[in-house]
């Protein structure tokens, strides 16, 4: 995928998705990073640009196979993005022919592995202390003092996980947006709504910080299995149905592993006239 290009003329990118959680992927290996908040907002606009849930920029690394940075469509940075990590993992596994590669994100160095046709990523250990999530003041992270008493989990980015009896009854946009901006979350938060179907199956819907409702959220799926397990509602390994399909989550000694499909949608490029308008 690595390509030389002159950004004054064109910007090649890939569109990929993991369970409908969609990403624009820019490969900046071998040169300076080029993504800015303005560029992310322009590309992320589904009318002006092409739209995405997150933009992922690949960079050369001195510590792992690659470095990877994430941007939301409102131009904010995301410290973690599980599904984009799986998508870029797929590209790198195919490019190198290896069975396992390492990816350095703000979260730390993550491992991506082939899992048949799917890709597994170890998203690391959950952050359960109030100041790690982060929250604005010390509270019980197992039962936050908000209506619905969500569980707070950091996965390199903040999550508030609500358990609900019937997911069809939840106003994900209204409730999610309210919680995203609650003062308890100084960096805002991603919001998950989970209906536990059995000890090994969960139905989850998500409101993503900086993006809104998406068809899936990998870090949110990891946060949800941690929250369900902490509350004693499920085992540590579950199948999770999100709007875009199914993921497998496995909270092990070495971190939370997430396995699922990835898809390359198309490859294209922005030309100079687009870049000049940013
Ligand atoms: N889609 C992602 C997570 C998105 C990050 C988020 N919006 C944030 O600001 O933290 C995933 O697959 O994990």
Burial class (CB in 10 A: 0-12, 13-18, 19+), 174: exposed
Q: Which domain holds residue 173?
A: 151-252
78 lines ligand 1 (CB under 6 A): yes
> Tell me, what's the pLDDT at 271?
87
Residue 2 lies in a domain: no
The catalytic residue among 26, 43, 80, 81 is 81
Residue 129 lies in a domain: no
- DSSP 3-state percent helix, strand, coil across the chain (nearest 5): 20, 40, 40
For atom 1 of ligand 1, the residue with the nearest CA is 217
Output the domain CATH number for residue 29. Answer: 3.10.310.10
Q: Tell me the pairing of strands 66-72 and 77-78.
A: antiparallel
- 278 residues of the chain, pLDDT tens digit each: 555 555 557 899 999 999 999 999 999 999 999 999 999 999 999 998 999 999 999 999 999 999 999 999 999 999 999 999 999 999 999 999 999 999 999 999 999 999 999 999 999 999 999 999 999 999 999 999 999 999 999 999 999 999 999 999 999 999 999 999 999 999 999 999 999 999 999 999 999 999 999 999 999 999 999 999 999 999 999 999 999 999 999 999 999 999 999 999 999 999 888 888 88
Residue 21 lies in a domain: yes
Measured in angstroms, how far is the CA atom of residue 80 from the centroid of ligand 1? 6
Residue 156 known to bind ligand: no
Residue 45 lies in a domain: yes
105 lines ligand 1 (CB under 6 A): no
> Tell me, what's the pLDDT at 6?
58
Complex ipTM:
0.96
> Tell me, what's the pLDDT at 4?
52
Measured in angstroms, how far is the CA atom of residue 81 from the centroid of ligand 1? 5
> Tell me, what's the pLDDT at 74?
94
Q: How far apart are CA 178 and CA 156, in angstroms?
A: 21
Close Cβ partners of 256 (under 8 Å, ≥ 6 residues apart): 122, 123, 124, 125, 126, 155, 222, 225, 226, 249, 250
Catalytic residue flag (residue 222): no
Residue 146 lies in a domain: no
Q: Tell which atom from ligand 1 comes closest to the C-alpha of 70.
A: 5
The catalytic residue among 112, 135, 179, 217 is 217
Residue 136 lies in a domain: no
Residue 166 lies in a domain: yes
Indicate the top mutation candidate among 53, 185, 240 to test ligand 1's pocket, ranked by most ligand atoms within 8 A of CB: 53
**Same domain membership, residue 269 and residue 235:** no
Q: How many structural domains compose the chain?
A: 2
Indicate the top mutation candidate among 17, 55, 78 to test ligand 1's pocket, ranked by most ligand atoms within 8 A of CB: 78
Q: Tell which atom from ligand 1 comes closest to the C-alpha of 53.
A: 1
Q: Tell which atom from ligand 1 comes closest to the C-alpha of 188.
A: 9
Catalytic residue flag (residue 87): no
208 lines ligand 1 (CB under 6 A): yes
**Same domain membership, residue 18 and residue 114:** yes
Measured in angstroms, how far is the CA atom of residue 125 from the centroid of ligand 1? 16
> Tell me, what's the pLDDT at 89?
98
> Tell me, what's the pLDDT at 115?
98
10 Å Cβ neighbour count for 14?
A: 20
> Tell me, what's the pLDDT at 113?
98
| Secondary structure class of 24 (helix, strand, coil) | strand
**Same domain membership, residue 237 and residue 172:** yes
**Same domain membership, residue 100 and residue 40:** yes
């Amino acid at each position: 995928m690595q390509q030389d290009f002159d950004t004054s003329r064109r910007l090649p990118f890939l569109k990929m998705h993991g369970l409908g959680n969609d990403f624009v992927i820019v490969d900046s290996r071998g040169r300076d990073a080029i993504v800015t908040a303005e560029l992310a907002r322009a590309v992320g606009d589904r009318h002006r640009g092409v739209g995405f849930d997150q933009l992922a920029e690949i960079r050369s690394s001195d510590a792992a196979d690659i470095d990877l940075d994430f941007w939301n469509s409102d131009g904010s940075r995301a410290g973690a993005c599980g599904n984009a990590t799986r998508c870029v993992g797929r590209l790198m596994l195919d490019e190198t022919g290896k069975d396992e590669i390492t990816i350095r994100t703000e979260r730390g160095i993550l491992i991506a592995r082939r899992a048949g046709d799917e890709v597994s990523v170890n998203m690391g250990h959950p952050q359960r202390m109030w100041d790690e999530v982060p929250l604005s003041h010390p509270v019980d992270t197992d039962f936050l003092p908000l209506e619905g008493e969500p569980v707070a989990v950091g996965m390199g980015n903040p999550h508030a996980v609500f358990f609900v009896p019937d997911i069809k009854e939840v106003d994900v946009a209204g409730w999610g947006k309210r919680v995203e901006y609650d003062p308890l979350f100084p960096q805002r938060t991603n919001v998950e709504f989970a209906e536990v179907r059995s000890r090994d199956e969960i139905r989850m819907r998500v409101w993503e910080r900086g993006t809104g409702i998406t068809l899936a959220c990998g870090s949110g799926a990891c946060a949800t299995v941690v929250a369900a397990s902490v509350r004693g509602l499920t085992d540590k390994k579950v199948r999770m149905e999100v709007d875009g399909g199914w993921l497998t989550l496995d909270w092990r000694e070495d971190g939370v592993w997430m396995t699922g499909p990835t898809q390359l949608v198309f490859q294209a490029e922005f030309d100079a006239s687009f870049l000049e308008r940013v």
